[in-house]
Structure 1
Amino acid sequence: MQNTNALPFLIKLSEHTKENVYFELRLIKQYGFSLTFGEKEKNGTSIVAPIFPWDDTIAAAISISIDQIGLLEQFIDTVVKCAKEISNEMGWIG
């Protein structure tokens, strides 16, 4: 199970400088996922995990949205596992 308490707060959209975007991308690569809170729906949460092909670039992403933050940890591992399985099918060995 990923430790979501170790993740820093997400950067607000208004604070998306080039440096902040690169910082967030490094966190996503380190933890294997990203979280969003209330971007599309009030109280909505999305879990997004990158999909890597053989060359270790980001080819796509898999995501789910939930409306109950209490279910968050239950789904993080599932989303990350699915993204890794797809990545492995695409030749990623990371």
Structure 2
Amino acid sequence: MFFALVFVIWAWAVSLSSPEGFEQVKLVLQSFIAKFIAWGTITVLLYHMIGGIRHLIMDMGHWEELKSGNLSAVITIVLWIVLAVLTGVWLWF
């Protein structure tokens, strides 16, 4: 997630610099490598967000038993996989 910020900050800076910079970033983002980096960045952020919500719920006293904690972990991973696939479909199709 940290390393992807280099790409995100570069794209943001160049795209805001001029209309030509914006077109350059649009062109770069159409390549497979850029889409793969974007997909990886988005999926890592999604997992981080879903895991954070799970931990907030656990901080409120829910899902602290072994069985419910394991179930919430499985649900977190399954939800992340579904969102990762949907993100890939959104980026490539």
Task: Identify the TM-score tier after normalising by the shorter chain.
Answer: 0.3 to 0.5
TM-score, length-scaled by structure 1: 0.33
Question: Which structure's residues are more often strand, by fraction?
Answer: 1
Normalising by structure 2, what TM-score? 0.33
Greater helix percent: which structure? 2
